[in-house]
Amino acid sequence: MKTSIDINRRSFLFGSAAAMTLAGCATSKMGVRALKPGEKYRLALIGCGIQMRCLEEQFLRADLGGKYVDVVAACDCDRVRAAYMAERVNRHAGRDVCHPVYDFRDVLADPGIDAVCIATPDHWHAYICVEAM
């Protein structure tokens, strides 16, 4: 019996990107912790501009901000953007789980954060990514 999986290019790329992101987290300075039953991964968003808004919509649409992952921090040096993103995440979660942070170093130093999603301009992206590993 032949089983067929209907997948389009966009679904494949989205799934591949998510898998690579999680694979990258396994080698980070933050370390990897085993989850207890019912526990969720704690994700921080770094960079809250237009690129992160698109990513955040994908996270929320896939319900990653509910069943398996809590988005606990929205980080941007622009306080308005960070507060706006945290408010969007909290509205979707239905509870006050995400808080604004204004310095990415505070996010990387927080031992309670398991993974980060970085959507900053090119000249900051690589540096933050290296510091997160």
In tens digits, the chain (133 residues) has pLDDT values of 555 556 677 666 666 666 555 555 544 455 566 767 777 888 898 988 887 877 777 777 776 556 778 889 999 999 999 999 899 888 888 888 889 999 999 999 998 898 888 888 887 878 888 888 8
Amino acid at 82: A
Which domains, ranges and CATH numbers included, belong to the chain?
29-132 (3.40.50.720)
Q: Please tell me the pTM assigned to this model.
A: 0.69
d(CA 7, CA 94): 31
- Whether residue 98 contacts residue 89, with contact meaning beta carbons closer than 8 Å, is answered with yes
Distance CA 91, CA 117 (A): 19
